[in-house]
Amino acid sequence: MSSYHSVDVPYVPQRIKSVLVANRGEIAVRIIRAVQELGMEAVAVYSDADKDSLAVRLADRSIHVGHSQAAKSYLNIDVILRAAHESGSNAIHPGYGFLSENSKFAERVEAEGLIFIGPSASIISTMGDKARARESARRAGVPTVPGSEGVVRDLSEARQVAEQIGFPIMIKASAGGGGRGIRVAYDHSELDSELPRAQREAEAAFGDGGVYIERYIAQARHIEVQILGDGRNVIHLFERECSL
């Protein structure tokens, strides 16, 4: 059993009729199936690389959004919003990765009269940027792993942080999620080579190459608390051992 409570935020009930699934692959398939089970229309977007994907075949309708490179399709806010309007979708589900933690995208969705299925833009701005989330946690008195104060600007700053906290370190995409844009370095030589790799991967996956640094903790446990809300009620699903 989960617990819930009401939150004091504006709540305007809107009926979702058609959901544009702004993602690809396995997550898009899961969202499409859930949307259809709820009796709503599921609209898939797809790049050149995904025209024959399972998500496209399962969706009620599908719209082409560009080239195979994510930056020219799944990360292109204008193209995704155009697809939503062209399809008549009144809601967008971003899945995870890509634009799901992009506060500017959430703002644009809401500004254009569509429903963003996810946290508010302000929450995404605070927690979607991992470097900013670390700073928010520190201000709130929550212990954090030793690391950089925000995004590292260049290799020189990254080396200084590594000297201060000690190796091994983790290089992590600030806008990241899903394990992308993460590298471990055990010495300066590995830091020199892994930093640009992490930045390139972050740029390709999230459209933002910013990275920050944390001390690497071997054999750590990944514990999450899942929180769901509909704008009026919020529930938590207790803790989850993601290490498994």
| Rounded Cα distance, 129 and 127, in Å | 5
Q: Which stretches in the chain have pLDDT values below 70? A: 1-14
- What domains are defined for the chain? 3-126 (3.40.50.20), 144-215 (3.30.1490.20)
Distances (CA, A) of 231 to 3, 14, 101, 118: 16, 11, 18, 10
* pTM score of the predicted model: 0.71
What pLDDT shows up at residue 133? 87
What pLDDT shows up at residue 123? 87
| pLDDT tens-digit map of 127-185 | 878 888 888 888 999 999 999 988 999 999 999 999 999 999 999 998 877 778 899 99
Burial of 61 (0-12, 13-18, 19+ CB in 10 A): middle
What pLDDT shows up at residue 12? 45
What pLDDT shows up at residue 14? 65
Q: Which residue has the tokens 């969706």?
A: 59
Asked if residue 75 lies in contact with residue 206, where contact means CB atoms within 8 angstroms, the answer is yes
| Rounded Cα distance, 164 and 148, in Å | 9
What pLDDT shows up at residue 97? 83
What pLDDT shows up at residue 2? 43
